[in-house]
């Protein structure tokens, strides 16, 4: 059984149909890259997987570990191991990063009948993970993403992922706007998580990231549909030729 | 006392006849200085009567429910039994603090614990002080909270009997906070208490007091309290006020402060309880360099109505004032905020800043907020701003997408909203208590929302 099975997914936002029949199957241990032009629906797909309710699923299905994912609240999905690194992480003034993350981790642990971590154990864990994604420790005590630079926000997403250790991580353009050092750390963080009991979806515009995280599959999302899938060479081809050739090809074959 | 025919038709007439009974009960005391004030106040009350929503000051707060109910004045503690255990829930885990307890508006010697105070400091019953400190009483009592403009102050002054008196002599610093507990309890009978407080801080003195209003059950009653705080030159007074009365209580509270040169007054006013609540604060900065900070937090749940009216009078030059009021309105609650700033002709170089922010948690909750600036000087800095918003859906989703439950995520965002008021409170156990109260009161609201 696939870890994630997306079948004929249609989704709309504010009356505009964005996803027009997405099919995608992801197994444990795999890394899938999703590429595609601006506005093609990549973030919409990511947010629908995470459970954002402003996106309306109008048709189709998502099965996660064989269970209907769309029936679950966002927090239930997280508790079952789904994680979304946001393209635009939200700033939350007044809520400390540490307090938030501890609440999140303990909610997840509790849902699995694991013991909650006390402040001391949590601090130890957090310090270790912060080091691992080279995140400045002073950011931990600041309000969530508040006043963070673009790069700090992305690092914070990976840091949260490292702490929460999800089964399915969806990373929405976590590489965009990062300098090469930051990119390496972020990629490192992702690779560390990569094992046979997890799967990763990386949404990206840049082949560059895929030098560090070598994907098993590359998919091209255009106008709300996956129009082409292939191996890692597809990313190179896309970088070279852009998306128009795929558009033309699909138009012809349609 | 002569009551004209017109007056007898008023809603206030029940109070007028009650005043006659009250007067009789006073016996010998009826000729004192204080009693002359009472008589003047009841006459004013008869003239003013309860305000209606036609009165601009009461436009959004309809007090007809108070006017219609025949609340009986609590002329004593009414034999109420309050135990140490009852007080525990208002003690913030610090039963060892210096505390002054009033039950139904009357000082309780048994429950109060007043010791360890610096030499010369007087803390205790106002009724006592009327006898032992006639000079201070004559100088200050009812001199700052004017009873000729506001019917509730007039009524409270007419029935003025007891409450808390504090006098901090010049240059004395009281290090530990003084906890004033105003406890109400009654058996079925709808009563009104008029606790009256007078706090006098001498030159370069310093004191911090916490005033907690609470009920033992969910009884229906009316608290109509008046507090006057006088700060002499260079005095520092910090006032934390936590109102957590029964959800069936009516609560009208008036605070008047009078500040001399270089004094500093800070107030943190938190409102959680009460069915219908009106808080009036008037701060008068009457000396150069005096500074006032009025902060507040209000949480409305159920069908609560919470009205905060503040007024800062800048009478002299070079006075800063800061004001931050934040409101959270859930379910069908209603909030009102009115912030007046008067800058009088002489008050050049005034620096006044007022902010009111509101978080509306349901479609049926609402807030009416209005700043009111009247400036008669020409070299001043006055800023004001009011906002009304809802929980940030994106932030909520972000938190939930990490595994935090919807209710917990809402709580986190609500605490975050309230935090800049709460974080400014220096008494730590009080900050913790505020988080607990927020959590507890919102829990019920969340559950209803979920349905
Ligand atoms: N909340 C919204 N309201 C209205 N339209 C939206 C909303 N969110 C997305 N859209 C529209 O949906 C379409 C797809 O957006 P989406 O963010 O999924 O694209 P994307 O592939 O992630 O693009 P990018 O590469 O620029 O991040 C776009 O046309 C966008 O304008
Ligand atoms: Mg996107």
Residue B324 and residue A213: Cα distance in Å, rounded?
50
Residue A177 and residue B392: Cα distance in Å, rounded?
26
A49 lines ligand 1 (CB under 6 A): no
Residue A28's pLDDT is: 97
pLDDT digits (tens, 9 = 90+) for B125-184: 999 999 999 999 999 999 999 999 999 999 999 999 999 999 999 999 999 999 999 999
Distance from CA of A78 to the nearest CA of B (A): 5
Pocket residue to mutate for ligand 1, from A33, A40, A89, A226, most atoms within 8 A of Cβ: A40
pLDDT digits (tens, 9 = 90+) for B191-249: 999 999 999 999 999 999 999 999 998 889 999 999 999 999 999 999 999 999 999 99
Q: What are phi and psi of B294, to 5 degrees?
A: -115, 110
Residue B31's pLDDT is: 65
pLDDT digits (tens, 9 = 90+) for B368-420: 999 999 999 999 999 999 999 999 999 999 999 999 999 999 999 999 999 98
CB contact under 8 A, B399 and A54: no
Residue A243's pLDDT is: 85
What is the whole-number distance in angstroms between the Cα of residue B152 and the centre of ligand 2?
Answer: 59
Number of H helices, E strands in chain B: 11, 21
Mutation test of the interface with chain A: which of B324, B395, B397, B403, choosing the one with the most A Cβ atoms within 10 A?
A: B403
| CA-closest candidate to residue B298, choices B210, B217, B357 | B357
Pocket residue to mutate for ligand 1, from A39, A55, A176, A177, most atoms within 8 A of Cβ: A39
| CA-closest candidate to residue B11, choices B56, B54, B45 | B45
Give the atom of ligand 1 at the shortest distance from the alpha carbon of A221.
Answer: 21
Query: What mean pLDDT do residues A124-134 have?
Result: 91
Distance from CA of A232 to the nearest CA of B (A): 29
Give the atom of ligand 1 at the shortest distance from the alpha carbon of A45.
Answer: 18
Q: Give the rounded percent of residues in chain A with a pLDDT score beyond 70.
A: 98
Q: Please, which residues have CB within 8 angstroms of residue A147's CB and are 6 or more apart in sequence?
A: A91
Residue of B395, B402, B419 with shortest CB distance to A104: B402
Residue B450's pLDDT is: 56
Residue B332 and residue B445: Cα distance in Å, rounded?
10
With cut-offs at 50, 70 and 90, classify the pLDDT of residue B284. Answer: very high
CB contact under 8 A, A92 and B405: no
Question: In sequence order, what DSSP letters do the residues of B184-208 get, joined into one string?
Answer: E--SS--EEE--EEEEEE-TT-EEE
Q: Are A200 and A162 in contact (CB under 8 A)?
A: no
Distance from CA of A103 to the nearest CA of B (A): 6
CB contact under 8 A, B401 and A77: yes
Residue of chain B whose alpha carbon sits nearest to that of A166: B402
Residue A239's pLDDT is: 85
With cut-offs at 50, 70 and 90, classify the pLDDT of residue B52. Answer: very high
CATH of A4-253 among 3.30.930.10, 3.40.630.30, 1.10.10.10, 3.40.50.300: 3.40.50.300
Distance from CA of B329 to the nearest CA of A (A): 19
Mean pLDDT, chain B, whole residue set: 93
A51 lines ligand 1 (CB under 6 A): no
* Model confidence at B32: pLDDT above 70: yes
ipTM of the complex: 0.96
* E-state strands within B50-149: 72-73, 98-103, 106-107, 122-125
Residue B186's pLDDT is: 82
Mutation test of the interface with chain A: which of B326, B401, B439, choosing the one with the most A Cβ atoms within 10 A?
A: B401
* Model confidence at A78: pLDDT above 60: yes
Mode of pairing for the β-strands spanning B206-215 and B178-184 = parallel
Q: Does A170 touch chain B (CB under 8 A)?
A: no
Ligand nearest to the CA of A42: 1
Residue B224 and residue B157: Cα distance in Å, rounded?
10
* Model confidence at A222: pLDDT above 90: yes
- Extents of the domains making up chain A: 4-253
Dihedral sign, Cα of residue A55, residue A56, residue A59, residue A62: positive
Q: Are B307 and B279 in contact (CB under 8 A)?
A: yes
CB contact under 8 A, B403 and A50: no
CB contact under 8 A, B397 and A74: yes
Residue B20 and residue A148: Cα distance in Å, rounded?
67
Residue B3's pLDDT is: 45
Q: Are B273 and B251 in contact (CB under 8 A)?
A: yes
Residue of A50, A93, A103 with shortest CB distance to B416: A93
Angle between helices B33-48 and B13-26 (to 10 degrees): 170
Pocket residue to mutate for ligand 1, from A42, A50, A87, A177, most atoms within 8 A of Cβ: A42
Give the atom of ligand 1 at the shortest distance from the alpha carbon of A205.
Answer: 25
Q: Please, which residues have CB within 8 angstroms of residue B135's CB and are 6 or more apart in sequence?
A: none
| CA-closest candidate to residue B44, choices B195, B193, B155, B161 | B155
């Amino acid at each position: 059984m696939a870890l994630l099975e997306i079948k004929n997914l249609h989704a709309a936002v504010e009356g505009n149909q964005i996803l027009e029949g997405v099919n995608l199957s992801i197994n444990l241990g795999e890394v899938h890259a999703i590429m595609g032009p601006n506005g093609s629906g990549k973030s919409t797909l990511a947010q629908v997987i995470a459970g954002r309710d402003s996106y309306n699923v109008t048709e189709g299905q998502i099965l996660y570990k064989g269970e209907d994912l769309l029936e679950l609240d966002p927090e239930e999905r997280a508790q079952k191991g789904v994680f979304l690194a946001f393209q635009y992480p939200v700033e939350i003034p007044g809520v400390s990063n540490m307090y938030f993350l501890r609440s999140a981790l303990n909610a997840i642990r509790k849902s699995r009948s694991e013991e909650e971590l006390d402040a001391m154990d949590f601090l130890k864990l957090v310090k270790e993970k912060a080091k691992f994604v080279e995140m400045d420790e002073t950011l931990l005590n600041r309000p969530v993403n508040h006043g963070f630079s673009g790069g700090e926000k992305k690092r914070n997403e990976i840091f949260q992922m490292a702490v929460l250790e999800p089964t399915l991580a969806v990373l929405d353009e976590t590489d965009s706007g990062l300098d090469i050092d930051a990119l390496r750390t972020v990629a490192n963080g992702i690779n560390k998580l990569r094992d046979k009991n997890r799967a990763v979806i990386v949404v990206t515009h840049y082949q560059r990231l895929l030098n560090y995280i070598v994907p098993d599959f590359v998919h091209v999302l255009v106008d709300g549909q996956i129009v082409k899938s292939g191996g890692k060479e597809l990313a190179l081809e896309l970088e070279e030729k852009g998306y128009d050739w795929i558009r033309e090809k699909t138009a012809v074959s349609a | 006392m002569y009551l004209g025919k017109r007056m007898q038709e008023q809603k206030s007439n029940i109070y007028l006849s009650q005043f006659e009974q009250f007067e009789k009960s006073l016996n010998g005391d009826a000729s004192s200085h204080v009693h002359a004030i009472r008589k003047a106040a009841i006459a004013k009350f008869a003239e003013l009567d309860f305000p209606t929503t036609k009165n601009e000051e009461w436009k959004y707060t309809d007090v007809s429910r108070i006017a219609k109910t025949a609340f009986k004045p609590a002329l004593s503690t009414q034999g109420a039994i309050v135990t140490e255990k009852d007080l525990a829930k208002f003690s913030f885990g610090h039963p060892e603090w210096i505390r002054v307890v009033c039950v139904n508006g009357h000082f309780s010697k048994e429950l109060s614990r007043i010791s360890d105070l610096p030499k010369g400091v007087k803390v205790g019953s106002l009724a006592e002080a009327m006898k032992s400190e006639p000079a201070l009483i004559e100088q200050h009592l009812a001199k700052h909270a004017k009873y000729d403009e506001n019917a509730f102050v007039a009524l409270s002054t007419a029935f003025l009997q007891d409450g808390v008196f504090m006098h901090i002599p010049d240059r004395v610093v009281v290090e530990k906070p003084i906890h004033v507990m105003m406890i109400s309890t009654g058996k079925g009978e709808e009563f009104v208490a008029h606790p009256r407080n007078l706090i006098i801080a001498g030159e370069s003195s310093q004191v911090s007091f916490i005033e907690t209003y609470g009920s033992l059950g969910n009884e229906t009653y009316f608290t109509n309290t008046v507090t006057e705080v006088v700060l002499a030159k260079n005095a520092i007074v910090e006032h934390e006020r936590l109102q957590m009365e029964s959800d069936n209580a009516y609560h009208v509270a008036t605070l008047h402060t009078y500040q001399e040169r270089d004094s500093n007054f800070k107030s943190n006013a938190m409102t959680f309880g009460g069915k219908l609540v009106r808080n009036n604060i008037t701060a008068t900065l009457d000396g150069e360099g005096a500074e006032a900070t009025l902060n507040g937090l209000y949480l409305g749940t159920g069908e609560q109505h919470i009205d905060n009216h503040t007024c800062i009078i800048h009478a002299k030059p070079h006075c800063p004032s800061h004001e931050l009021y934040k409101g959270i309105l859930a379910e069908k609650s209603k909030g009102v905020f009115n912030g007046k700033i008067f800058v009088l002709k002489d008050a050049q170089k005034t620096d006044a800043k007022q902010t009111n922010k509101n978080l509306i948690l349901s479609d049926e909750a609402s807030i009416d907020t209005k700043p009111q600036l009247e400036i008669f000087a020409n070299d001043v800095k006055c800023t004001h701003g009011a906002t009304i918003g809802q929980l940030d859906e994106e932030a909520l989703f972000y938190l939930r997408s990490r595994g935090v439950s919807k209710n917990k995520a809402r709580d986190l965002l609500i605490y975050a909203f309230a935090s800049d008021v709460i974080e400014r409170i220096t008494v730590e156990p009080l900050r913790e208590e505020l988080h607990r109260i927020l959590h507890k009161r919102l829990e019920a609201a969340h559950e209803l929302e979920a349905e």
